[in-house]
Structure 1
Amino acid sequence: MSTPLILISLGVILALSFVVAPRRASVQGFFAGTTPDGGAPGLWTLVLSQVTTWIFARSLMNAAILGYYYGIAGTLAYAAYYGSFLTGGFIVMRLRETRAASVQDWLGARFGGAGRAAYNLVIALRLLSEVFANLIVIGLIFAALLPGSETVAVLAIAALALAYSAWGGLSAALRTDVLQMALFLVVFIAALIALLLSPGVSLGAMLTAPGTAGAWNGWVLLAVAALQVFSYPAHDPVMMDRGFLADPATTRASFFHAFWISTLCIIGFGLFGIQAGITGAAVENQLIGTWAAMFPSWVFAALMLSLLVSALSTLDSALSSAARLCVEELRLAPRSLMGGRLSMAVFAVAGTLLTLFGSQSLFDAVAVSGTASMFLTPVLVVGLVMGRRIALWAYLIAWAAAMLGAAAYFARAVPWVAAFLPQGHKYEQLFVICVVVLIAGFAAVWLGSRGRVETAQEG
């Protein structure tokens, strides 16, 4: 009963996404997200776009899975990453005070081409992981709904998302984000109310649940999030791109509202995973199958539709940021509609191919990406906040330390890598890696810093 409803609803949402996408695209709208009359996007367009591109399918599944295993501690740990809206808003406003138009602008002015290249490598990998991870969730959903159809579903949805994204670029992403977020909120709130009103469900029990694996590693992961939350938004091009579209007051307000809305959504979705753990669900590593058995068909359909909508909204935003990266930052294609569309196609194809070979562990992508971003913490604290000059060698040492830390976590099962890591759970290892990366980065950057840089205030 629920499968036809989900498929029909998904078809309607895809059709509506094509309807609300701009009829005619301009180069400025494609790359800068301007309205048809050349204006900046409004406050709630920015807010809903920020929220829907950050509470994407991978995040919703992560929150639920971490809640299942580690209870409220796991869900809070993942929700802590959404403090990135506060730290990201702070970074954006400081960057704008220097009259930088992007993170790359600021890094390029201080570290030249090497500074830009090191950063662009990290965000290119981030964008690929966004496409890959959201397509993985789509595959997981269709594996549960229609076993054997997952590859076809991934290819079809990737192609359709690319089609309407390539139609209007960032302006299309902003407009479809508003539609998709509104639909997401309707179905998600309905499902959450049904969960909280279900017989035998206690909010108090969910908020104190230790999870099926105990709460300890959830609290460890919360500490990891606290270490990564300053740098994490700065390596996310989707968030950073939206920090330079509107005036300062609108931008500042959009980050604040996106913070509280997205945090509540993530915690709310985590409750579904926590409740699955409380009921003693026996479907190990098959949370979607667990939900199908736990809830009425319409609640299950609402959950799946929430995941599918969030996957779509992230795909189009990731592709629009990929176009900006390739065209405006890397200059690999001309600043034209065709150049942007070709860039989108490359990332869409590469991300889709990764689903055939990549890991199914959704949080690993967050952990590796977040660790790689940590070179930005000492650079931004010392260079942007304290206003000190930093030598290029110090920047590159901080970058290398973060890359080695990310690689060590990714390859932690390799015997010679494991020999350098402490014994313990992978999140305990991740915490130690993050501490070492920060110590090495701050030591290098502080030793390589001198004097203050005069900055012009944004007018």
Structure 2
Amino acid sequence: MLSLYVIAAFGAVIVVSFLMAPRRATVEGFFAGQVAGRAPGLWTLVLSQVTTWIFARSLMNSAILGYYYGAAGTLAYAAYYLSFLTGGYIIGQLRTRDATSVQDWLGALFGGVGTGTYNAVIALRLLSEVFANLLVVGLIFDAVLPEAAQAGTYAIVVVALLGLAYSAWGGLSAALRTDVVQMVLFLAVFGVAFVYLIASPEFSMAAIVTSEGASGARQGWVLLIVALLQVFSYPAHDPVMMDRGFIADRKTTRNSFLHAFWLSALCILAFGMFGIHAAILGAAYEGQLLATWAGMFPSWVFVALLVSLLVSALSTLDSALSSAARLCVEELRLAPRSLAGGRAVMVVFMILGGALTLWGNATLFDAVAVSGTASMFLTPVLVAVFVFGWSVPLWSYLVSFTAAIAGAAAYFLRGAEFMAMILPDAPKYEQLLAICVVVLVVGFAAVLIGARRVAD
């Protein structure tokens, strides 16, 4: 019966998403998000930004980190949402320089090498978004249909096809319109579950704030430092956020980033409380917390949490696909700037993302850690150019890029025997912190030396 409620509720969300998609698709709407020739308004941008950033993977990460590391774990993940502030700053600087995208700006500074390296990183980022959110869909249906063999796999296929169908119809304009209704539905459904949580007799805000989780708070504080090191460059490598920074006027865009910050951060902190609360009650960790919650809450609360996750997964899929289409068509010129070209790109990304779910890695934070580390090649360049007004030579950029990619690879391959000789003998998040520090030191050293030589 529980599974029927989840399927029915999620089915209703998909139907509403189809109804909200534009009836007529245009090339400008598909790639630039315009509807009837007009740019989106403030709250359309805000709700679209928020719903694509509090995606299913993020909600689960927040709850899982809260379960293991208490308030420090959830706070660490919420720190990534400072990206709306740093991202707004980056967008403002780019638009002041009359750049129309990050690629446009990097191309002016470093030519084809600059855009090529950046595009490679964000292509992997978009692919990870498709993979991670489909993976959450699979985990949810495996949890609610444990008796059905391959339930998660079938759910992934169905959601991938349905999400692709309405995304490919309208592109970015469809994503913007459906993001609004999906965010409103998310807030309503999750709000009901959250009210139940804080009204329950066992809930204590003091206990939440002081909780150290099931494994102690130390690694949570380590992750907070990692997030603060990554947060300046993190938004610049997220094409979903960057794409939304150039489709409205500057004032609307600036305000949308500010509102998106506080709203998304509150959602992440609130969802993290469900994980922290589970650890406080001494619940055993089972299946990405899903089975844990099933035993903790009434069925209707559990259904509300699952539907919240599914809605956020769907909203991220359409935005990731629309950004993938813009990347491959407008930046890489791998397909014609037409509805058919954009739709073909979406199909390819959905197939690749779906195939990755068969890989078997269900550690959701790994994708964030790896892509966040890879993005750090931009930090020294952004600081040098935007803050100090320095000129950065190509070789400095390439050194920073190489260091960041090597760091991301080191964390991804940390389980290999040869990495044990390189990385410190410490928990994985302390290894991640050491990697981030080294990446930044190398990058800033290269940029500082290069900038001085240019000045001389």
Class of the TM-score when normalised by the shorter of the 2 chains: over 0.9
2:117 pairs with 1:118: yes
- Cα distance in 2 for partners of 1:267, 1:351 equals 28
- Cα distance in 2 for partners of 1:285, 1:372 equals 29
TM-score for both structures, normalised by structure 2: 0.98
1:106 aligned residue: 105
- Cα distance in 1 for partners of 2:251, 2:454 equals 27
The Cα shift of 1:450 comes to: 5.2
Between 158-167 and 283-292, the greater mean CA deviation after superposition: 283-292
Q: Deviations over 1:422-453 (max 9, x none)?
A: 11110000001000000000011111125999
Consecutive unaligned residues in structure 2, runs of 5 or more: none
Given residue 105 of structure 2, which amino acid in structure 1 is its aligned partner?
A: W
1:127 aligned residue: 126
- Cα distance in 1 for partners of 2:235, 2:419 equals 28
1:52 aligned residue: 51
1:155 aligned residue: 157
Match of 1:276 among 253, 262, 278: 278
- Cα distance in 2 for partners of 1:67, 1:407 equals 26
The 3-state SS of whatever aligns with 1:389 is coil
- Cα distance in 2 for partners of 1:358, 1:99 equals 44
Given residue 233 of structure 1, which amino acid in structure 2 is its aligned partner?
A: P
- Cα distance in 1 for partners of 2:176, 2:288 equals 33
- Cα distance in 2 for partners of 1:284, 1:145 equals 13
Q: Deviations over 1:363-416 (max 9, x none)?
A: 000000000000000011112332222111110110000000000000011111
5 Å matches for 1:221-240?
221-240=223-242
User: 1:390·1:450 contact (CA, 8 Å) conserved in 2?
Assistant: no
User: 1:126·1:236 contact (CA, 8 Å) conserved in 2?
Assistant: yes
2:20 pairs with 1:20: yes
1:456 aligned residue: none
Change in Cα spacing, 1:415 to 1:356, as seen in structure 2 (3 Å) is same
Between 92-101 and 351-360, the greater mean CA deviation after superposition: 351-360
User: 1:88·1:234 contact (CA, 8 Å) conserved in 2?
Assistant: yes
5 Å matches for 1:357-396?
357-396=359-398
The Cα shift of 1:6 comes to: 1.2
The Cα shift of 1:230 comes to: 0.2
Given residue 71 of structure 1, which amino acid in structure 2 is its aligned partner?
A: G
2:440 pairs with 1:441: no
The 3-state SS of whatever aligns with 1:244 is coil
- Provide the aligned C-alpha RMSD in A: 1.1
- Cα distance in 1 for partners of 2:30, 2:285 equals 44
2:16 pairs with 1:31: no
Match of 1:290 among 292, 297, 304: 292
2:257 pairs with 1:252: no
- Cα distance in 1 for partners of 2:43, 2:35 equals 14
The Cα shift of 1:35 comes to: 1.3
Q: Deviations over 1:194-238 (max 9, x none)?
A: 001112211111111100000000000000000000000000000
- Identical-residue share of aligned pairs (%): 67
2:301 pairs with 1:299: yes
Given residue 118 of structure 1, which amino acid in structure 2 is its aligned partner?
A: T
Given residue 20 of structure 1, which amino acid in structure 2 is its aligned partner?
A: M
- Cα distance in 1 for partners of 2:365, 2:354 equals 18
1:457 aligned residue: none
2:103 pairs with 1:80: no
1:338 aligned residue: 340
User: 1:56·1:307 contact (CA, 8 Å) conserved in 2?
Assistant: yes
- Cα distance in 1 for partners of 2:405, 2:171 equals 31
User: 1:387·1:452 contact (CA, 8 Å) conserved in 2?
Assistant: no
5 Å matches for 1:163-182?
163-182=165-184
Between 385-394 and 265-274, the greater mean CA deviation after superposition: 385-394
User: 1:79·1:266 contact (CA, 8 Å) conserved in 2?
Assistant: yes
The Cα shift of 1:2 comes to: 2.8
Given residue 417 of structure 2, which amino acid in structure 1 is its aligned partner?
A: P
- Cα distance in 1 for partners of 2:12, 2:328 equals 32
User: 1:389·1:451 contact (CA, 8 Å) conserved in 2?
Assistant: no
5 Å matches for 1:185-200?
185-200=187-202
Given residue 91 of structure 1, which amino acid in structure 2 is its aligned partner?
A: I
The 3-state SS of whatever aligns with 2:244 is helix
User: 1:25·1:167 contact (CA, 8 Å) conserved in 2?
Assistant: yes
- Cα distance in 2 for partners of 1:97, 1:69 equals 43
- Cα distance in 2 for partners of 1:159, 1:449 equals 49
Change in Cα spacing, 1:286 to 1:57, as seen in structure 2 (3 Å) is closer
The 3-state SS of whatever aligns with 1:388 is coil
User: 2:60·2:288 contact (CA, 8 Å) conserved in 1?
Assistant: no
Change in Cα spacing, 1:180 to 1:43, as seen in structure 2 (3 Å) is same
- Cα distance in 1 for partners of 2:250, 2:388 equals 21
The 3-state SS of whatever aligns with 1:166 is helix
2:5 aligned residue: 5
The Cα shift of 1:3 comes to: 2.0
Q: Deviations over 1:5-44 (max 9, x none)?
A: 11111111101101010011110110000112x1110000
User: 2:138·2:152 contact (CA, 8 Å) conserved in 1?
Assistant: yes
User: 2:125·2:238 contact (CA, 8 Å) conserved in 1?
Assistant: yes
- Cα distance in 2 for partners of 1:48, 1:126 equals 21
The Cα shift of 1:346 comes to: 0.5
User: 1:67·1:274 contact (CA, 8 Å) conserved in 2?
Assistant: yes
2:245 aligned residue: 243
- Cα distance in 2 for partners of 1:345, 1:318 equals 12
User: 2:390·2:451 contact (CA, 8 Å) conserved in 1?
Assistant: yes
Change in Cα spacing, 1:452 to 1:252, as seen in structure 2 (3 Å) is farther
User: 1:94·1:385 contact (CA, 8 Å) conserved in 2?
Assistant: no
Given residue 68 of structure 1, which amino acid in structure 2 is its aligned partner?
A: Y
The 3-state SS of whatever aligns with 2:391 is strand
